[in-house]
């Protein structure tokens, strides 16, 4: 499966910020500090090697919830684009 090429590669940080903002609004327990705590706990149990787990780990979140975050991101980006078009 080929990865999609980003039109604006610099947008990665802004999209990550939006992702975490929406996840917080939906009440999902994600974020660097929460992920670090979960990774440390799992590493103590021997389930995940601490050195190989990325800080941005969403593996413990249900697929339905991560899809909801993506859907809300798309809705918000479309509404922002529509607002920008109305201002022209």
What percentage of the chain exceeds 70 in pLDDT? 68
**pLDDT surpassing 80 at residue 88:** yes
* Distance between CA atoms of residues 7 and 48, nearest Å: 35
Q: What is the mean pLDDT of residues 64-75?
A: 94
What pLDDT does 77 receive? 94
Grade residue 73 by pLDDT with cuts at 50, 70 and 90: very high
Q: What is the mean pLDDT of residues 15-22?
A: 89
Domain range summary for the chain, segments of one domain joined by +: 11-87
* Distance between CA atoms of residues 69 and 58, nearest Å: 12
Residues 33-64 pLDDT 10s:
554 555 555 555 555 544 454 557 788 888 99
> Please, are residues 6 and 15 in contact by the beta-carbon 8 Å criterion?
no
The owner of tokens 């798309």 is 74
Residue 57, classed as helix, strand or coil, is: coil
């Amino acid at each position: 499966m080929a990865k999609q090429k980003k039109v604006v590669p610099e947008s990665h940080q802004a999209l990550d910020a939006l992702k975490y903002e929406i996840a917080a609004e939906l009440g999902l327990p994600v974020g660097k500090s929460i992920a670090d705590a979960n990774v440390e706990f799992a590493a103590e149990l021997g389930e995940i090697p601490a050195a190989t787990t990325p800080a941005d780990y969403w593996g413990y979140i249900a697929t339905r919830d991560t899809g909801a975050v993506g859907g809300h991101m798309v809705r918000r980006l479309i509404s922002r684009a529509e607002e920008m078009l109305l201002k022209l």
